[in-house]
Amino acid sequence: MTPAFRRLTLLSLIITTHLYAAPATTTALAAQPDYQQGQQWLQQRLQQRQQQRQQQKEHGRAQNVILFLGDGMSITTLTAARILEGQNQGLSGEEHRLYFETFPYSALVKTYNTNQQTPDSAGTMSAITTGVKTRAGVIAIGPEQDRGICQGAAAYHQPTLLQWAQQQGYATGIVTTARITHATPAASYAHSPERNWEADSDLSREARRYGCRDIAWQLIHQAYPAGLDIALGGGKRNFSRDGERHSGNLIADWQQQFPGGQYLENRQQLMQLRADTPGPVLGLFADSHLDYHLDRSGQQPDLAEMTRAALAFLQQQKQHHPQRGYLLIVEGARIDHGHHAGNAKRALDESIELARAVQLADQLSDNNTLLLVTADHSHTLSMAGYPQRGNDILGFAANQGLLLANDQSPYTTLGYANGPGGSANARHSERLPGRILWHQPEHRQTEPHSDNFQQAALADIYAETHGADDVALHARGPGARLFQGLLEQHEIYHRIRRALQQEN
pLDDT in tens, 468-499: 999 999 999 999 999 999 999 999 999 999 99
Distance CA 196, CA 212 (A): 13
Q: How many CB atoms lie within 10 A of CB 444?
A: 10
Q: Per the domain annotation, does 1 fall within a domain?
A: no
Residue 175 scores a pLDDT above 60: yes
Average pLDDT over the chain, rounded to whole? 87
Q: What does the alpha-carbon distance between residue 433 and residue 19 come to, in Å, rounded to a whole number? A: 25
Residue 290 pLDDT > 70: yes
Residue 57: pLDDT band (50, 70, 90) is low
Same domain? For 235 and 370 the reply is yes
Cα 68 to Cα 373: distance, rounded to the nearest angstrom: 5
**Are 178 and 317 within one domain?**
yes
Least confident of 215-224, 417-426, 430-439: 430-439
343, 458: one domain:
no
Mean pLDDT computed over 373-388: 97
Residue 323's pLDDT is what?
74
Q: Sorting pLDDT into bands at 50, 70 and 90, what band is 427?
A: very low
The answer to which of 134-143, 146-155, 287-296, 424-433 has the lowest mean pLDDT is 424-433
**Mode of pairing for the β-strands spanning 381-383 and 414-419:** antiparallel
Residue 143 identity: P
What average pLDDT does this structure show over 50-77? Answer: 84
Question: Residues 484, 456: one domain?
Answer: no
The answer to the question of residue 2 being in a domain is no
Q: What is the pLDDT of residue 430?
A: 40
Q: What is the pLDDT of residues 348-371, one digit of tens each?
A: 999 999 999 999 999 999 999 999
Clarify whether residues 252 and 188 are in a common domain: yes
Residue 388 near residue 25 (C-beta atoms within 8 A): yes
pLDDT band at 177; cut points 50, 70, 90: very high
- Per the model's pLDDT, the better-predicted residue between 32 and 484 turns out to be 484
Q: Indicate if 208 and 281 belong to the same structural domain.
A: yes
In single-letter form, the type of residue at position 369 comes to: T
Per-residue DSSP letters for 287-316? SSSPPPGGG--TTS--HHHHHHHHHHHHHH
Residue 373 has pLDDT above 70, yes or no: yes
Highest mean pLDDT among 6-20, 414-428, 486-500: 486-500
> pLDDT class for 408, splitting at 50, 70, 90?
confident
Residue 221 lies in a domain: yes
CA–CA gap between residue 181 and residue 185 (Å, rounded): 7
Distance of alpha carbon 366 from alpha carbon 368, whole angstroms: 5
Q: Does some domain include residue 354?
A: yes
Residue 352 shares a structural domain with residue 449: no
pTM of the entire structure? 0.89
Please give the backbone phi and psi of residue 270, each rounded to the nearest 5 degrees, phi first: -65, -40
- Mean per-residue pLDDT for 260-285? 94
Q: Is 121 a catalytic residue?
A: yes
The span from the CA of 76 to the CA of 337, in Å, is 16
Confidence class for position 317, pLDDT limits 50, 70, 90: confident
Q: What is the dihedral of CA 26, 29, 30, 35, to 10 degrees?
A: -140
What's the pLDDT score for residue 43? 77
Could you tell me if residue 422 is inside a domain? yes
Check whether residue 333 and residue 424 sit in a common domain: no
The pLDDT assigned to 433 comes to: 39
> Same structural domain for residues 365 and 442?
no
| CATH number of residue 267's parent domain | 3.40.720.10
Of the segments 11-25, 402-416, 471-485, which one has the largest average pLDDT value?
A: 471-485
The SS3 assignment for 414 reads strand
State yes or no: pLDDT of 178 exceeds 70: yes
Q: Confidence class of residue 34 from pLDDT cuts 50, 70 and 90?
A: low
Give me the pLDDT at residue 14, please: 34
Does residue 303 fall inside a structural domain? Answer: yes
- Answer with the residue of higher pLDDT: 433 or 451: 451
pLDDT at 431: 37
Interstrand relation of 378-379 and 369-374 (parallel, antiparallel or unpaired): unpaired
Task: Select from 432, 431, 412, 421 the least CA-distant residue to 457.
Answer: 421
What pLDDT was estimated at residue 462? Answer: 86
Q: Does residue 37 form part of some domain?
A: no
Predicted confidence at residue 201, as pLDDT, reads 95
From CA 232, how far away is CA 179, in angstroms rounded?
A: 9
Number of domains the chain is built from: 2
Interval 196-253: pLDDT, tens: 999 999 999 999 999 999 999 999 999 999 999 999 999 999 999 887 788 889 999 9
pLDDT of residue 421: 82
Question: How many whole angstroms separate alpha carbon 477 and alpha carbon 468?
Answer: 29
Q: What integer pLDDT is reported at residue 3 of this predicted model?
A: 47
CB atoms within 10 A of CB 419: 29
Query: Do 425 and 324 fall into the same domain?
Result: no
What share of the chain has pLDDT > 90, as a percent?
Answer: 72
pLDDT of residue 30: 42
The span from the CA of 207 to the CA of 62, in Å, is 40
Q: DSSP letter at 443?
A: G
Q: Which domain does 406 fall in, by range?
A: 396-464
pLDDT band of 261, cuts 50, 70, 90? very high
Those residues with Cβ within 8 angstroms of residue 110's Cβ, 6 or more apart along the chain or in another chain? 470, 486, 487, 488, 489
> Does the pLDDT of residue 166 top 50, yes or no?
yes
Q: Are strands 105-110 and 471-476 parallel, antiparallel or unpaired?
A: antiparallel
Sign, CA dihedral 311-313-319-322, equals negative
Say if residue 274 is in the same domain as residue 323: yes
In a domain, 81, yes or no: yes
Question: Which stretches of 223-291 are DSSP H helices?
Answer: 224-226, 250-257, 267-271
pLDDT score at 247: 86
Same domain as 435, residue 355 = no
Backbone angles phi, psi at 416, to 5 degrees: -125, 150
Q: Which of 74, 121, 126, 188 is catalytic?
A: 121
